[in-house]
Amino acid sequence: MGSQQNVLNQLVSFILGASAAAVLLFFITSAGRGAWSTGISSWANGTVEFVDPVQEATSPAREAAVHAEEKGVTEPEQDELEQLLRAVADEDRTVIMTSVNEAWAAHDSLLDLFLESFRMGEGIAHFADHLLVVALDDGALRRCRAVHPHCYLLPAATARNLSDEKVFMSKDYIDLVWSKVRLQQRILELGYNFLFTDVDILWFRNPFERMSVAAHMVTSSDFYFGEPYSPFNLPNTGFLYAKSSRRTVGAFEAWRGARAAFPGKHEQQVLNEIKHELVAKRGLRIQFLDTEHNAGFCNNTRDFNTLYTMHANCCVGLGAKLHDLRNLLQEWRAYRQMDDGERRNGPVRWKVPGICIH
């Protein structure tokens, strides 16, 4: 019995070794073709991304002017956006972005809490330098400029009043979130990667540490079932990373184009409807983030030791979100004052249940 087990162990070791060698040979060969390029290396511990040389042969930035003309984007708007992206992007052309209306940007509202979380987080204050805040109305733009250096007024929002708190799934809300997807596609077309984060998300640690450089798109999850690349996970596009490429631009075009087939649904619902097709037919690699690390009020582990971001989803109403996020940030301050021994003793849970979070 022991000899059989030794033979089995040797066979497994041989197979694993051969597989590793084959993978290494593939990447060395690809590197010789000039297929390596830096990804989000400055934010993800020096890792690099492998870029498909055939898929990426045409730069989205070279196609941006054509796409902008097709979408009715004027040259001044395009120039302003490009200037802001150049100012905000890191060395890997990655931009963090969020969006606010006047209610969310008001003093002591969601924008203030969001920015404070960067200052209170573990080694993430510098991410605010790479943050573009998209204002959905003039009031939000004024307030943004008072507290943050990089603000952009969304042109599509000026035709409607988006200054008040919008009721979830109202027509204004649905138009707003689809305008967000349109802007995200433009950013990809200009050759920039983006990480979009809803303003009702608190950041505690560097979320890029949880993101695979092999993914074309990374999304948080309302519900996560254990396999990061399985489209059976339920996405939450309030936290969404996309890598600029022809593939991702095509995926965003398909996403926006699918809106007509699902009338009355917002962008997250439509993505959930077409995610299997994007994976199977377009070869899009979508990573779904584990709710143990990128949590939300819908589903969270209640452990500060593993928490990177917390989203006030499954929570309706600005007042409820503010109440619970303020309590959570206060609990995080207390956690930061603990010594390492206290943290290692076990899960460190927040003590005060809220209106939405439990």
Domain interval for residue 120 = 75-288
Q: Output 345 or 219, whichever has higher pLDDT.
A: 219
Contacts of 167 (CB under 8 A, 6+ apart): 173
Q: Which amino acid is at 111?
A: L
Confidence at residue 166, expressed as pLDDT on a 0 to 100 scale: 54
Q: Is residue 80 part of a domain?
A: yes
User: What is the per-residue pLDDT across 75-95, written as a single tens digit (0 to 9) for each?
Assistant: 656 689 999 999 999 999 999
- The Cα–Cα gap between 152 and 144 comes to 9
Q: Count how many domains the chain has.
A: 1
User: What is the per-residue pLDDT across 43-70, written as a single tens digit (0 to 9) for each?
Assistant: 333 333 333 433 443 455 545 444 444 4
CATH at residue 247: 3.90.550
Q: Is residue 252 part of a domain?
A: yes
C-alpha atoms less than 13 angstroms from C-alpha of 142 in its C-beta half-sphere: 8
Q: Is residue 240 part of a domain?
A: yes
Q: Is residue 35 part of a domain?
A: no
- The Cα–Cα gap between 313 and 296 comes to 6
* Res. 165: pLDDT tops 80: no
Confidence at residue 221, expressed as pLDDT on a 0 to 100 scale: 95
Q: Is residue 224 part of a domain?
A: yes
Instruction: Say whether pTM exceeds 0.85.
Output: no
Q: Count CB-CB contacts under 10 A for residue 173.
A: 15
Q: Is residue 9 part of a domain?
A: no
Is the CB of residue 325 less than 8 Å from the CB of residue 113?
yes
With bands split at pLDDT 50, 70 and 90, how would you rate the model's confidence at 298? confident
CA 25 to chain centre: 32
Q: Is residue 83 part of a domain?
A: yes
Confidence at residue 301, expressed as pLDDT on a 0 to 100 scale: 77
Q: Is residue 169 part of a domain?
A: yes
* Res. 10: pLDDT tops 60: no
